[in-house]
């Protein structure tokens, strides 16, 4: 087996068998081959440049600090959404899981001494929150994997249910009482990066490792692009779905921890627009809406772009009506624009009828004109 693998080494590179500079070059090349990524980076650079030049308030350290804080909780939820969308599903319950685990965490910390409780109590509370998220994710995973309920439906039900449990537990109001040793972390910066942002960076690394460096991650991509092929190549789809949604639940509860750090409270109705925003971030970041493709880099770039736009709107629209309403309008427009551009990239700028569901294959074929020559040369040699 290993011999056949070695003979294919130039094509299927293994992580342990890297070829230094050549691999690095091909990595860079692969990065620029991704056309949706190129579009995204272009948008990012333009938005950043315009805001830098036009708004003096934008290029202050205080603003960057506040932007870094603001992306942290939405960012982690967007990562959870990304993972579920790569698996050709969707996790609508991310916000509900984050809020419910926050509520449970606060109740645990309150019972252990409230605001003045010890760091141990805070740590225990955080662990309980993460365990809650994992358990709720596991329930999603079992509904999707074992009962074969479409993810959108399963997570719709759990979203309603956990939202309802949160409302029932708090009477619908926001509760506080999280340990100060946890909430103080929200104001601390390490190497001038706020701690919530560090948690987000940790989540980014975690998701990147999961997707790119574990066999479960690779199987997730396979399942997302073709569940039947995944089954027939020996993947246990049910177990895979349980793993994927459990991971999403864990990430959601991590977002709940960050919300606690930032807002010092938990509420069953916090961040109700975050489901849309998380999907927007993922789609804008190049995650395919039909599953099977998407990468963490794109999601991070799209998250920062959206946050810059949001901050820019806030600064520009002072005194011109409610900027939140305008943002809602702009996000909707942005999402439609991005999916339209993505479609146009795949199908060409025209209104010809198209059949079937083609993805990026057209783009890859255009980039490598030498590819069709290889089979012929093989045939001649044979």
Partner 1 sequence: MRTIQQRFKRTARTQEAILLLVIAIVVTLLTAANPSFMTISNIFDILRIMTVSGMMALSCLLIMISGGVDVSFPAVADAAAFAGATILLQAHFNGSGLVLFLTAIPLGMLMGAINGFFVGWFRIPTMIVTLGTQSLFYGASLYFLGGVSIFELPQGTKDLAQKALITVDSGSGTSSLGPLFLVLVIMAIGVSLLLHRTSFGRSIYALGGNEMVVERSGINIRLRYLCLYSLAGAISAIAGAANATIYRNANPVGLQGQEMGIIAAVVLGGALITGGKGSVTGTLLGVLLIAIIQNSLVLVGIPSTWQNVVIGIVLAAGIAIPAVRHLIDARNKTEVLI
Give the interface with partner 1 as residue ranges (CB under 8 A): 90, 143, 147-150, 152-154, 156-165, 167-168, 171-172, 227-228, 231, 237, 272-273, 275-276, 279-280, 283, 289-290, 321-322, 325-336, 339-340, 343, 351, 355, 357
Return the number of the residue (194 or 285) whose C-beta is nearest partner 1.
Answer: 285
**Number of CB atoms found within 10 A of residue 332's CB:** 12
Query: Is 85:288 a contact under the CB 8 Å cutoff?
Result: yes
The secondary structure of residue 187, as a DSSP letter, is G
- The nearest distance, CB 320 to partner 1, in angstroms, is 9
Closest CB to partner 1 among residues 100, 130: 100
In angstroms, give the least distance from the CB of 93 to partner 1: 11
Distance of CA 107 to the CA centre of its chain: 28
Residue pointed to by tokens 């177990």: 239
Strands 175-176 and 265-266, sheet pairing: antiparallel
Kindly state the smallest distance separating residue 272's Cβ from partner 1, in Å: 7
Give the nearest distance from C-beta 220 to partner 1 in angstroms: 16
Alpha-helical runs (H) found in 192-322: 195-213, 215-225, 227-232, 237-263, 274-284, 296-316
What is the smallest separation between the CB atom of 66 and partner 1, expressed in angstroms?
23
Closest to partner 1 by CB, 65 vs 226, is: 226
Q: What residues have CB less than 8 Å from 87, skipping those under 6 apart? A: 151, 220, 223, 224, 240, 241, 244, 291
Q: Which residue, 191 or 351, is less far from partner 1 as judged by CB? A: 351
**CB-wise, 221 or 331, nearer to partner 1?**
331
- Closest CB to partner 1 among residues 48, 335: 335
Token duo for residue 197: 């942002």
Shortest reach from residue 250's CB to partner 1, in Å: 21
The nearest distance, CB 197 to partner 1, in angstroms, is 26
Q: In angstroms, rounded to a whole number, what is the distance separating the alpha carbons of residues 151 and 275?
A: 14
Element (H, E) at 375: helix 373-381
Q: Which two tokens stand for residue 307?
A: 């946050």
Q: Measure the CA dihedral 217/343/370/5, to 10°.
A: 10
**33 or 346: whose CB is closer to partner 1?**
346
- Contact, 146 vs 238, CB < 8 A? yes
Residue 189 or 317: the one with the smaller Cβ distance to partner 1 is 317
Residue with smaller CB distance to partner 1, 9 or 336: 336
Smallest Cα–Cα separation from 183: which of 110, 278, 270?
110
Q: Count other C-beta atoms under 10 Å from residue 44's C-beta.
A: 16
Least distance between partner 1 and beta carbon 70 (Å): 18
Question: What's the CA gap between 109 and 116, in Å, rounded?
Answer: 9
CB of 153 to partner 1, least distance (A): 5
- Is residue 170 within 8 Å of 291, Cβ to Cβ? no
């Amino acid at each position: 087996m290993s011999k056949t693998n070695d003979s294919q080494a130039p094509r299927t590179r293994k992580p342990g068998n890297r070829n230094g500079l050549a691999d690095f070059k091909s990595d860079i090349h692969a990065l620029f081959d991704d056309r949706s990524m190129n579009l995204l980076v272009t948008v990012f650079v333009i938005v950043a440049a315009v805001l830098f030049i036009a708004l003096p308030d934008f290029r202050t350290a205080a603003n960057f600090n506040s932007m870094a804080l603001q992306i942290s909780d939405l960012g982690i939820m967007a990562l959870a959404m990304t993972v579920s969308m790569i698996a050709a599903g969707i996790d609508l319950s991310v916000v509900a899981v984050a809020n419910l685990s926050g509520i449970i965490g606060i109740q645990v910390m309150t019972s252990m001494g409230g605001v003045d409780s010890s760091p141990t109590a805070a740590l225990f509370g955080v662990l309980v929150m993460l365990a809650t998220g994992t358990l709720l994710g596991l329930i999603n995973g079992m509904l999707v994997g074992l009962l074969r309920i479409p993810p959108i439906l399963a997570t719709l039900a759990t979203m309603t249910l956990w939202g309802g449990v949160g409302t029932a537990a708090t009477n619908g109001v926001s509760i506080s009482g999280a340990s100060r040793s946890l909430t103080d972390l929200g104001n601390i910066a390490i190497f001038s990066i706020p701690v919530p942002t560090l948690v987000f960076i940790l989540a980014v690394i975690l998701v990147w490792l999961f997707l790119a460096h574990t066999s479960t991650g690779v199987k997730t991509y396979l399942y997302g692009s073709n569940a039947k092929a995944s089954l027939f190549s020996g993947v246990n789809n049910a177990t895979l779905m349980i793993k994927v949604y459990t991971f999403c639940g864990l990430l959601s509860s991590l977002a709940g921890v960050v919300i606690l750090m930032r807002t010092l409270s938990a509420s069953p109705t916090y961040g109700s627009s975050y489901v849309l925003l998380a999907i927007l971030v993922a789609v804008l970041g190049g995650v395919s809406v039909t599953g099977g493709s998407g990468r963490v880099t794109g999601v991070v770039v799209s998250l920062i772009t959206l946050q810059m736009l949001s901050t820019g709107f806030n600064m520009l629209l002072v005194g011109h009506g409610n900027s939140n309403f305008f943002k809602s309008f702009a996000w909707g427009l942005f999402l439609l624009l991005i999916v339209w551009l993505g479609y146009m990239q795949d199908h060409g700028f025209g209104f010809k009828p198209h059949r079937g569901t083609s993805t990026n294959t057209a783009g890859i074929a255009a980039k490598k004109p030498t590819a069709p020559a290889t089979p012929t040369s093989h045939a001649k040699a044979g």
